[in-house]
Structure 1
Amino acid sequence: MRPCRAPVRSLAAAAFLACRLARTVEIADHILLVGSPLNADHDAAAAPLVLHRRREHVLNG
Structure 2
Amino acid sequence: MADHPLPDDVAAEPGRFSRPEVERALRVIRAERDLFQALLWQVTRSTPRAATHPVTAR
Above 0.5 in TM-score? Answer: no
Range of TM-score over shorter length: under 0.3
Would you tell me which structure has more helix in proportion to its own residues?
A: 2
More strand by share: 1
Structure 1-normalised TM-score? Answer: 0.16
Larger Rg: 2
